[in-house]
Structure 1
Amino acid sequence: MDVNTTGGPVRGTTTGTVTAFRGIPYATAKRFQPPSPHPRWTETKDASNPGPAAPQLRSRLAHVMGEHEANWAEDGCLNLNVWTTGVDAGKPVLFWIHGGGFSSGSGGWDWYDGGLLAANHDIVVVTINYRLGPFGYLGADNLGAQDQQAALEWVHENIAAFGGDPGQITVGGQSAGAYSSLYLAIDPATKPLIRRIVLESGPWGLPPMDPDVAERTAKAFFEHVDRDAPAEQILQATTTLPGNAPGAPAFYPVLGGPGYPKAWPDADLSDLDVLIGFTKDEAAAFPGLQGMFEASVRTIAEASATAFTYRFDRTGPLGAPHCVELPYLFGTFDAFAASPMLDPDKPRTTDFGDAVAQFTRTGDPGWPKAPEFRYFV
C-alpha cells in the first residue's frame, strides 16, 4: 500500500489485514538544535523497516525488560511508525510514546509493534522516536519534548491519509512516555491536538528539573566532553555526571522550557479524559520508589474531567514490576520472550490492550470511573 504524506510518498508492508509503515521521517534536526520539517522526497520511500533509534546507552531497566539491541544513529532518528487496517475511514488514533527514563528505548522496537491493536480494534497505532539523554534534554531547550510535539503535529497533518481521524487522537505512553503524554496534553501548543490520554506508570513524584540545576548540569557536562565530539563520546560522558535526585535520570525535562510551561500540579486538568494507573510492584525495578509512580494517580484522576484508574497486579518472577503490562498492551509476548519479568506459564491475554483500545475508540475502557480501580490479576 502506498500513501502520500507531506514529506513524500511511502510504501508499507501488509500482513493480513494490517499495513505497517515503519521508519517514516517526521522531522530532521542538527545536534542540539530544534527539529525542523524533513526535506521532501519525490520517489516512493520504502517504509518496511524501522528507522534508527536515538543515540543511547544500555537501558537501566534491562534487568526487568530484557536486553534489546538499540541500532541507533544520530542522523535520521526522528522517525515514526504507523499501523492501519486501511485508508477508507476515519479511525481513532493511538499515538504512543515509549518510556526509558528519557535516556533509552525506541518506538520502532518489536516490543511496541502496533499491528495486533490495529487489527483487533480497527484503530490506527503510531509509535515514535525522539531524542534522548544529552541529545534530547541537555539544558532548558527540552529538544526531546520538541521532537514529540513535531511528531504529534505531523500525525495531525498526515494521519487521515492512513485512515486515521485527526480529531480522535489519544496520546499515551508508559513511564517517561506517560510523563510526556500528560505534558503534551497540558501544553497550550499541543493540547488542541489531543482528545484523550493514557498514562501508564508515570513518575509523577518527579517534578520537572529546575532550570538552574539544568544550567549547572549542562555546564558540568561540557567540562567533560566537547559539543562536537562523536555521539559515542557524548553518551559516555553522561556516566561521569554526579547523580540527581534518587531515581531521577541525568537528563530529563526542564520546567519553563518548551513543552513544560508549568508543573502538572499547577496546571488545569479539569478538561482531560484520562486512563491512568500503575503496577503493584513498581519498586521491583526502582527499589524504594513505589510512591513516585503510585502516590499521585488519585490526584490526577480527581483533577480530570473523566478518569479511569487501574492497578496491574499480574505477576511473574519479579512480581508485577514497572513495565510488566507492556506485552499485555501490545500482545507482543514473543518479543518479550527473554524478559525476566514475564512468567511463561501465565495466559497470554490481551485484556489490558483491549481496554486501552476501547478507551481510544470511545473514552470508556469498560469499567467504572474513578475513584474505583480496575485490578488486572
Structure 2
Amino acid sequence: MDVFLGIRYAEPPFGPRRFAPPVRVDHSGDCLEFGPIPPQSARLPGAPVWRPGDEDVLSLNVWAPRAAEGCPVLLFLHGGAYTFGSSAQPDYDGTALARAGLVVVTCNYRLGFEGFGHVEGRPANRGLLDQRAALEWVRDEIAAFGGDPGNITVAGQSAGAASALFLATATAADGGPAAAGAVRRVIAHSVPNRCCTEGFARRVARWIDPSTPESAVASADAVARAQRSGPLGYDPVLFGPVADRLPALPAGVPALLAHTTAEYRLFDRVGTIAPVRTEAEYAAFGRAFALPPHVVAGYRELFPTASDAYLALLGDFVIAEPTTRLAEAHDAPLARFSRPPAWHASDVPFAFGTLAGADFMVGGPPGPAERALSRRVVASWARFARAGDPGWTGVRWWGGEVDVSATRALWRGVDLDVPVDHDVDGTGRRRG
C-alpha cells in the first residue's frame, strides 16, 4: 500500500486569492502528513483543527495498491453541512478501499463563508470550484499513482454527496461522460436537498464579518446561534450551493445511492438542532417549515412521541426522500442503511472499513457482524467503481429491513425541489 498525504492541488485561497477561483499549483516536498484544514470552528474526534494562519488548505491525499496500474479511481468528497469537516478525519482513511483494488483520493475544499458565502464581485460556490480543481488534478496526475484517469468515480456523503452530483453535472456539460476527465460514476450517500437562493446567501452575508477568515468563522457561528424562528431556528444550516435545485444525474452516468433510516437522530444526540418534545412544539415545527398538514399529522400518527415524529420527518424531508427520488428517477440501485443507530454518517465507517475507533458513530464496539457488513459495503463500492455494478439491483437493505411504505406514501405529490430562501435573524454585530 502506498499512501501520499497533503498533496497541494491549488494555491492557498487567501490574501489576493481569497474568495477567488482556485489556482492550480504543482506540489513539491514530502507527502507524509495531512495538510491544514479549511477555516472552521469544528473540533471533530481524531481530526486536526483549523488554526488562524493556516492557509495551505487545498490539498488531497492518495491511497494506492502497491505497484498499481490502471486501477479504478475513487475521489471522495467529505460532508459537514458545507461548513465543517476535512479529508483528515479517521473515517475517511482509504486503506480498505485501496486493498479492494481502487486508487482512493480524498480532498479538502473551502467551507462556510470562505467556500459558499456571498461576496459581491466574486464567484459563488467556491467550494464546488475547489472540488472541480481537485478532479482536474486527478485527471492529470493519477496515472502516476496507478489510477486510470478514464475511470473516475466521484463519491460523497451528505454535503459531499450533493457536491458529487454538481461535479458530475459540470463535467458532463464539458462533453459528456466519455470526455477526458469526466466523472464516470457517482456514489452518493445521504444527499441533502439543500440548495440556496442568492437572496438567502445575501441575507446571511449581511451578518458576516469577512475581514479575516477567523472573523468570518466567528460571525457565522454567532449567526447560527442567533436563529430563533423559522426553519433556521430548528436546523441552522447557513451555507450551501447557490442553485435553483440539486442537479439531476447526467444521462449515461451510473449512480449508487444510499441513505440511513434515522438520519436526524445524530443531530438531536449531539445537540446541533433544536429539540422538539411537546405536541405544541411539534405543531410549531410543521408550521415553520410550511410542511403539508397531512405529512405533519401522518408522521405523528406513525411514531410514539412528538420527538420521534419530528426527527423522522425532518430526516426524511431533507435527506431520505430526496435521495430515494434521485434513485428512482435514475433507475439506480439504492441502499437503505438500517443497522442501529442508523443515524446520519453511521454508514461511512462501514463503507471505508474504518470501524476501529468509530464506536460512537456506529453505536458501540464493532463485532463480527459489523465487520462482515463492512466487508459487504466496501465490496459494493469497489465493484461499482470498477464497472458500475455494486453486485445487486433495486433496493438493498444494509442492516435489516424496515417498512418505509407508510412514510413514503405521505410525501407523494409533495414538491421537495424548493431552494432555501428563509429569513435570517441577525446578531446586531454587523449589517450592511
Q: Calculate the TM-score normalised by the size of structure 2.
A: 0.71
Mapped partners of 1:308, 1:326: distance in 2: 18
What residue in structure 2 maps to residue 357 of structure 1?
Answer: 382
Mapped partners of 1:190, 1:182: distance in 2: 16
Contact 1:96 1:127 (C-alpha < 8 Å) held by counterparts: yes
For residues 284-336 of structure 1, the C-alpha deviation after alignment (integer angstroms, 9 at most, x for no partner) is: 124342211111233212222x5111101111xxx211010111111112242
Q: How does 1:238-317 map to 2 (within 5 A)?
A: 238-241=220-223, 243=227, 245=232, 246-247=234-235, 249-255=237-243, 263-264=245-246, 267=248, 269-286=250-267, 287=311, 288-291=313-316, 292-304=318-330, 306-315=331-340
2:106 equivalent to 1:127 = yes
Contact 2:165 2:249 (C-alpha < 8 Å) held by counterparts: no
Contact 1:301 1:307 (C-alpha < 8 Å) held by counterparts: yes
Mapped partners of 2:175, 2:162: distance in 1: 15
2:202 equivalent to 1:218 = no
What's the secondary structure of 1:220's corresponding residue? Answer: coil
What's the secondary structure of 1:358's corresponding residue? Answer: helix
Q: How does 1:15-34 map to 2 (within 5 A)?
A: 18-28=1-11, 29-30=13-14, 31-34=18-21
Q: Which of residues 399, 412, 416 is equivalent to 1:376?
A: 399
What's the secondary structure of 2:73's corresponding residue? Answer: strand
Mapped partners of 1:191, 1:75: distance in 2: 35
Contact 1:269 1:303 (C-alpha < 8 Å) held by counterparts: no
What residue in structure 1 maps to residue 391 of structure 2?
Answer: 366
Contact 2:38 2:111 (C-alpha < 8 Å) held by counterparts: yes
Which blocks of at least 5 consecutive residues in structure 1 are unaligned? 1-17, 256-261
Q: If each structure's strand is expressed as a fraction of its own residues, which one has the higher value?
A: 1
Mapped partners of 2:363, 2:202: distance in 1: 40
Q: How does 1:49-68 map to 2 (within 5 A)?
A: 49-58=33-42, 68=47
Deviation of residue 71 (structure 1)? 4.5
Deviation of residue 67 (structure 1)? 6.6
Structure 1 counterpart of 2:347, one-letter code:
E
Structure 1 residues 342 and 33, CA gap change in structure 2 (3 angstroms): same
Which blocks of at least 5 consecutive residues in structure 2 are unaligned? 268-310, 401-432
Q: How does 1:146-165 map to 2 (within 5 A)?
A: 146-165=129-148
Deviation of residue 116 (structure 1)? 1.5
Q: Which of residues 307, 322, 325 is equivalent to 2:344?
A: 322
Contact 1:247 1:289 (C-alpha < 8 Å) held by counterparts: no
Q: Calculate the TM-score normalised by the size of structure 1.
A: 0.81
RMSD: 2.2
Structure 1 residues 68 and 108, CA gap change in structure 2 (3 angstroms): closer
Mapped partners of 1:274, 1:23: distance in 2: 29
Mapped partners of 1:160, 1:26: distance in 2: 15
What residue in structure 2 maps to residue 343 of structure 1?
Answer: 364
What residue in structure 2 maps to residue 196 of structure 1?
Answer: 185
Aligned residues between the structures: 330
